[in-house]
Structures are given as C-alpha cells and as structure tokens.
Amino acid sequence: MITIRNMSASEKESIRKLSRLHTRAFPDFFLTQLGVGFLDALYKGYLDDERSGIIVAEDNGRLAGFIAYSCDYPNFYKGLIKHHLPRFALCSVGAALRHPSFIKRLLGAFKKSDSVVKSEKYVELASICVEPKMGKKGIGSKLIDHLKGMVDLDKYAYINLETDAVNNDDVNRFYVKNGFKLARSYFSSEGRKMNEYRFGG
C-alpha cells in the first residue's frame, strides 16, 4: 500500500535513502555525477529550510518516491550557499577534476538566470523522483496530488516546475497529464532548452 506524507526535519538520518534513490532514478543526470554526498547536502537543505520541504511516498514503509519543493526558491538557494557551501565544494571537487565543465554548470545551478526570475509568489516543484522498479503504480501522480493539496493557491500564484524540452517526451507528457500547462520554453545559461510548466494561476 502506497502512503504519502511530509518528511519531518528530525528525519535527516534518512536523507541518504533519498540520495540513493535519486542516483538509481537519474544515473546520468548532472547532479548525480556530483556524488551522493552532494545530494545528501542538497536534500538536507530542503529539510533545514522552513519554507521548503520533502514529501515522501512509501510502499509498506519502504521509500518509493519523493518530491522536494520550496515556497521561496530564490532564497532557498541563497540559504544553501550560506550554510552548506564548504560541503558542496568538498563533494564537488572530484567531479570537477574529472569534468572541468561541471564547474560552470554547478555555478549555474546555484544562480538562476535572469530569464527565469519571477515576480509572483509561487511554489517550486524542484525535484520529483520515483523508484524505477515502481514506475507503473502512479506514485509520481500521488506525490503531485499531495503537493497540490498543500498549496494555498489564494496565497501563491501557481506551482512551478522546469524540465528539459528535448529528448524528454515522457516526462513532459507526465506533467501535462497531471494538470500542468506549458508557460514557456527558454534556453538556460548552459544552452539547454527548458520547458517551464505551471499548475494554477
């Protein structure tokens, strides 16, 4: 049986499970290449930040998926840099030595391009991850439904997310199926074509 709940700040010892799930689900993604320690620090940041959080899906007590979100995304990243920069730097040095181009991408990940700065108050669905062996149980949709139920759309203009526009058709269809509408497409500072979706607003 799948259950959905908010992860509490006292569960930091379980962060490694999230990081390993991220690695299994996204083995070739940029953040994965930075290592499990980097992911640990990133997801710990969501629990530490009072305006952010993590929603987990569990199958009979075992982690089956999660969402990381923030109600103040720009300041969330500022907080990460302020409180976790030494750890991020330490975790990233090996990947940067193997792939010097990672340095530019890492800096871009912590500093949003001016093209994606928004004036409205919104909630960012920053990351969604489902156990690959359980991809047909609707876990991703259940997680999104939980987030939708948490967000007061009278207070926030919309739920926002961004994903790759190219070679990513299944993911783009998934978000549309779950009620998100394409707001625009743009090119990131690294030249990746991105789709920005919104729910509500």
3-state secondary structure the chain: CEEEEECCHHHHHHHHHHHHHHHHHCCCCHHHHCCHHHHHHHHHHHHHCCCEEEEEEEECCEEEEEEEEECCHHHHHHHHHHHHHHHHHHHHHHHHHHCCHHHHHHHHHHCCCHHHCCCCCCEEEEEEEECHHHCCCCHHHHHHHHHHHHCCCCCCCCEEEEEECCCCHHHHHHHHHCCCEEEEEEECCCCCEEEEEEECC
Q: Residue 146: its pLDDT value, please?
A: 98
Token pair 């907080």: residue: 79
Among residues 125, 126, 128, 135, the alpha carbon closest in space to that of 59 is found at 135
pTM above 0.85, yes or no: yes
CATH value of 2-199 in 1.20.1600.10, 3.40.50.2300, 3.40.630.30, 3.90.870.10: 3.40.630.30
Among residues 53, 40, 42, 25, the alpha carbon closest in space to that of 132 is found at 25
Domain boundaries, the chain: 2-199
For residue 114, which phi and psi values (nearest 5 degrees)?
A: -60, -25
Confirm if 23 and 42 have CB atoms less than 8 A apart.
Answer: no
Share of residues in the chain with pLDDT > 70 (%): 83
Q: 4 vs 86, which has greater pLDDT?
A: 4
pLDDT bin (cut points 50, 70, 90) of residue 51 is: very high
Confirm if 125 and 159 have CB atoms less than 8 A apart.
Answer: yes
Give the model confidence (pLDDT) of 117-165 as tens digits: 578 899 999 999 999 998 778 999 999 999 999 999 999 999 999 999 9
Contacts 24+ apart (CB under 8 A), 172-177: 174/140, 177/141
Is the pLDDT score of 47 beyond 50? yes
Residue range 55-72: mean pLDDT, rounded: 96
Structure tokens at 156: 């926030």
Lowest model confidence (mean pLDDT) among 80-89, 97-106, 171-180:
97-106
